[in-house]
Structure 1
Amino acid sequence: MKGFSSREREIIQKELFEKGKELFGQFGIKKTSVEELTKAVGISKGAFYSFYNSKEELFFDILEHFESEFRERLLEDAFQPGINPKESLKHFLKKAIVMMEENPILDQFQKGEMNYLIRKLPEEKLKEHFGDENDFFLQFVEEQKRRGIFEDYESKAVSGVFKMIFFVNMNKDGFDEDSYDEVIELLVDMVSSYLIKE
């Protein structure tokens, strides 16, 4: 098999990433084949494996990219001067939920694909990812405690509360459709009232 130049590799990797976003967002991981991905970018199935070990690794690469953007966008307007901290935290949490629901890759990830991905990916890759996720929440909580915005509760516990809200969103199908929005509203309100220093 003829090798690709560094420029060709860069172009193909970008095309795989973009086509992966489209196909995974539409069909999910299980229903998207390596053949569909490679046909869309004009390379052989064998060539695909010189870029990724599996379609699951491509999906995970896309997922991590989205999560990085997600965190940056969330922090853009968190606790700006002149805005009531309680309202700011409520906005932060609601914005996070809306962003998750509007992103087709995150939406597919929530629809039962997490367990599939965990089975398919190397354990060290998963540990690194979830460690980064925990660090993000912990750093966010500790920064707000340092600034005097959050009450002085144990940081890991508060980080767990944030993750709990996102887990509720990831499992929204288990809630009555008519009451889900109210459940989220109540959770966000309770957490904001409990955490923010008066």
Structure 2
Amino acid sequence: MPRPWSKEEKEIIKKNLLIEARRLFEKYGLQKTTVDEIARAVNISKGSFYIFYQSKEELYFDVLEDVEREFKDKMFKNAFEPGMNRRKSFKSFLNQMIDLLITMPLYKEITSSNYELLLRKLPEETLEEHMQRDQEEVSKFFNYWMDQGWMKKVDIEALNGLFLSLIHFVIHRDDFKGSNFEAAKDLWIDALANYLIIEDDKAEEIKVK
């Protein structure tokens, strides 16, 4: 009978699961990647896989969170580029976010047809914890932008909900006909930037007061 893994060994295996799962998910997608393939990639049995995750969907969600952490801070920190008109810069930031969600291998396959299936496979507490972390991470940027006079002071929870709607908007992109998605995206970005972002000269007036 094999000896139990130590805490350190479990941490190494979980780290390798995230690395190998990302490689497989990016290459084959969530639907075509199997638990057997993931387990083989890290030299554990299929049964041992379930010590770490209840399903491949739960692992997929963990991989997504890792990917988010890689780009979220960088993107939000660069939302307002020095020397660029503030609203134009914010619109560019939103466009980059949407393009990333559409083109990144792990994100682009999440559409309205499989999104609900993914959510049903995840433990409720996992989703709640993810939402809480997400809100805390982006709220610090919203608060900073408001304190700088770059963004209107609005309810943070409502603002978090608005950005969550961006993700759902992208997920349901296949529901749009023809070029309607691009047109709706441009309208959404313009409306958001024009309402939330304070023009450069007005921000200076606020600081003087």
Conserved in 2, the CA contact under 8 Å of 1:89 and 1:192? yes
1:99-144 Cα deviation digits (max 9, x unpaired): 1112111223335333223222221111111122233343332221
Letter in 2 for 1:57: E
Of residues 143-152 and 72-81 in structure 1, the stretch that sits farther from structure 2 once superposed is 72-81
- Alpha-carbon distance change, 21 to 112 in structure 1, aligned in 2, over 3 angstroms: farther
Which residue of structure 2 aligns with residue 115 of structure 1?
A: 116
Partner of 2:110: helix, strand, or coil?
Answer: helix
CA distance in 1, matches of 2:122, 2:166: 25
Which residue of structure 2 aligns with residue 54 of structure 1?
A: 55
Conserved in 1, the CA contact under 8 Å of 2:111 and 2:173? no
CA distance in 2, matches of 1:154, 1:12: 42
* TM, length-normalised to structure 1: 0.85
Gaps of 5+ in 1: none
- Alpha-carbon distance change, 159 to 14 in structure 1, aligned in 2, over 3 angstroms: closer
Conserved in 2, the CA contact under 8 Å of 1:70 and 1:99? no
Q: Displacement of 1:96 after TM fit? A: 0.6
Which residue of structure 2 aligns with residue 125 of structure 1?
A: 126
Which residue of structure 2 aligns with residue 138 of structure 1?
A: 139
Conserved in 2, the CA contact under 8 Å of 1:19 and 1:37? yes
- Alpha-carbon distance change, 11 to 152 in structure 1, aligned in 2, over 3 angstroms: closer
* TM, length-normalised to structure 2: 0.81
Letter in 1 for 2:147: R
Letter in 2 for 1:96: M
- Alpha-carbon distance change, 179 to 135 in structure 1, aligned in 2, over 3 angstroms: same
Conserved in 2, the CA contact under 8 Å of 1:12 and 1:41? yes
Of residues 181-190 and 75-84 in structure 1, the stretch that sits farther from structure 2 once superposed is 75-84
**How many pairs align?**
198
| 1:1-198 equivalent positions in 2, closer than 5 A | 1-2=1-2, 3-4=4-5, 9-198=10-199
Give the percent of matched residue pairs that are identical in Structure 1 and Structure 2: 36
Conserved in 1, the CA contact under 8 Å of 2:111 and 2:174? no
- Alpha-carbon distance change, 178 to 109 in structure 1, aligned in 2, over 3 angstroms: closer
Conserved in 2, the CA contact under 8 Å of 1:141 and 1:159? no
Of residues 187-196 and 136-145 in structure 1, the stretch that sits farther from structure 2 once superposed is 136-145
Gaps of 5+ in 2: 200-209
Q: Displacement of 1:6 after TM fit? A: 6.1
Letter in 2 for 1:112: S
CA distance in 1, matches of 2:194, 2:32: 43
Conserved in 2, the CA contact under 8 Å of 1:28 and 1:113? no
CA distance in 1, matches of 2:152, 2:9: 53
- Alpha-carbon distance change, 77 to 52 in structure 1, aligned in 2, over 3 angstroms: same
